[in-house]
Amino acid sequence: MTTLDLDKQQQQVGKAITTTVLVAALGYFVDVYDLVLFLIIGVKSIKGIGVQENIIDEFQSLLDIQMIGMLLGGVFWGILGDKKGRLSVLFGSIIMYSLANIANGFVDVFHDKDQAFLAYGILRFIAGFGLAGELGAGITLVSEVMSKEKRGYGTMIVASVGVTGAIVAALVGKFLSWQIAYFIGGGLGLSLLMLRIGVFESGMFEKSKKENVQHGNFFDLFKHKKILLKYVYCILIGSPIWFVIGILIGRAPEFAGEMGISNNGLLEREYSIMFCYAGLVFGDIASGALSQVLKSRKKAFYIFYLFCMGMILVYLNLSDVSTTIYYVMITLLGFSVGFWAMFVTVASEQFGTNLRSTTATTVPNFVRGSLVVIAMLFDYLRAPGKLGDLTYAALVVSAILFAISFWAISQLPETFGKDLDYVEE
């Protein structure tokens, strides 16, 4: 092969890698858009189909249905990714939640509100099931096609571009009708299919299929103590992220009211989510770059854990500040949990090629699902007769979660620069 042919081949490989990162990033963008969109337009859309009573309870039930879909979908897509390939999950999941989004925009055609609500619930389950697959498949594919020294940059790009979907969802949900918001999400997802032709399957996966080992057996994670513990540790290190997003930010108006924040009437959940994710974008960039500079995922985790703890303490001690200051603090909180990309990357790097998609897909969805347990503990502690206070309950829960997370990350082996071309026996 001549030097010219070699250069041309390298350019083609580089273009394929760039396209892969781009598609994974845009896919995650639409993923986050849809995930956050329901939080923003859920109440408005439920009223739009004619439901007028117990709105919050009905919203919560739909959210729970979507979460169940994500938990089940995480297992399904993860196994499929290890059995059939990363691309089958990447585009299969995008098609599923995109079509569910479009259909969601038509649920108001049912004149009977009960039928409309039933259809809404079915579509939220389907959307959640589809949403569960994209991130894990994208991170796994990017991790396997990039060099071991630079893959942290690739996964950083995927997550930082992806979470901007929350900002777009907040703006779209605020200023456009809920039907149009769903149509936009579905259209964005389907448009990604045009980029499929430039994305290739992971060479590591293709090679591993020739190995005489079982691929995508979820129960293999529970056969050996060492593998099971690694899997549990990977879930535990991400729990502070969804505590901050789901409790501290998700209930920002409640915290602001208890803190006596001035101009409290101007605080809106949509803007709280938007500013949080704006901070998270830069946090993902910073944590990914930091892990590359330090050549250590674990050191970057420790630094961000400490910074996040500090931001939580400042946030919970705010009193009588302006709405602007409060939103600035929310942005900083978002930045402090901007290790989501690094967290999913670590999960993908801990396991062999025959289980990598399974773990990288199920771990983030189990972390999202852990918010249910975290919220139950938080609500128990804030109840009258217990701590009876939002701030104290949040402090106790955060202390528990960070103690567990510090311990869990200390138990995991360093994965920076690790060769991923191997299988779990």
- pLDDT tens per residue, range 237-275: 999 998 998 889 888 878 888 777 755 444 577 788 888
In angstroms, the CA 391 to CA 276 distance is 19
In angstroms, the CA 277 to CA 283 distance is 9
Q: Give the confidence band of 6 by pLDDT, cuts at 50, 70, 90.
A: very low
In angstroms, the CA 172 to CA 114 distance is 27
Mean pLDDT along residues 18-40: 85
In angstroms, the CA 254 to CA 402 distance is 23
Q: Give the confidence band of 310 by pLDDT, cuts at 50, 70, 90.
A: very high
Mean pLDDT along residues 396-406: 95
pTM of the model: 0.87
Residues 208/340, Cβ–Cβ less than 8 Å: no
Kindly list the structural domains of the chain, giving each domain's residue range(s) and its CATH number in brackets, ordered by start.
Answer: 12-199 (1.20.1250.20), 222-425 (1.20.1250.20)
Helix (H, G, I), strand (E, B) or coil at 247: helix
Q: 210 pLDDT exceeds 80?
A: no
In angstroms, the CA 385 to CA 383 distance is 6
pLDDT (0 to 100) of residue 196: 67
pLDDT (0 to 100) of residue 13: 52
Q: 162 pLDDT exceeds 80?
A: yes
Q: Give the confidence band of 423 by pLDDT, cuts at 50, 70, 90.
A: confident
Residues 322/301, Cβ–Cβ less than 8 Å: no
Mean pLDDT along residues 319-326: 84
Q: 198 pLDDT exceeds 70?
A: no
Residues 284/339, Cβ–Cβ less than 8 Å: yes
pLDDT in tens, 373-382: 888 898 889 8
Residues 26/134, Cβ–Cβ less than 8 Å: no
In angstroms, the CA 412 to CA 223 distance is 18
Number of C-beta neighbours around residue 388 at 10 A: 11
As a whole number, the mean pLDDT across the chain is 86
Closest CA to 70 of 45, 40, 93, 95: 93
pLDDT in tens, 361-373: 999 889 988 888 8
Helix (H, G, I), strand (E, B) or coil at 213: coil
Q: Give the confidence band of 10 by pLDDT, cuts at 50, 70, 90.
A: low
Taking CA atoms, 261 is separated from 75, 154, 255, 265, 269, in Å, by 42, 40, 9, 9, 15
Mean pLDDT comparison of 4-8, 39-43, 166-170, highest-scoring range = 166-170
Half-sphere exposure of 393 (CA within 13 A, CB side): 22
Residues 98/186, Cβ–Cβ less than 8 Å: yes
In percent, the amount of the chain with pLDDT more than 70 equals 94
Q: Give the rounded distance of the alpha carbon of 419 from its chain centre.
A: 25
Q: Give the confidence band of 67 by pLDDT, cuts at 50, 70, 90.
A: confident
Which position has the higher pLDDT, 201 or 183?
A: 183
Which position has the higher pLDDT, 408 or 375?
A: 408
In angstroms, the CA 293 to CA 286 distance is 10
In angstroms, the CA 253 to CA 269 distance is 7
pLDDT (0 to 100) of residue 262: 59
pLDDT (0 to 100) of residue 266: 47
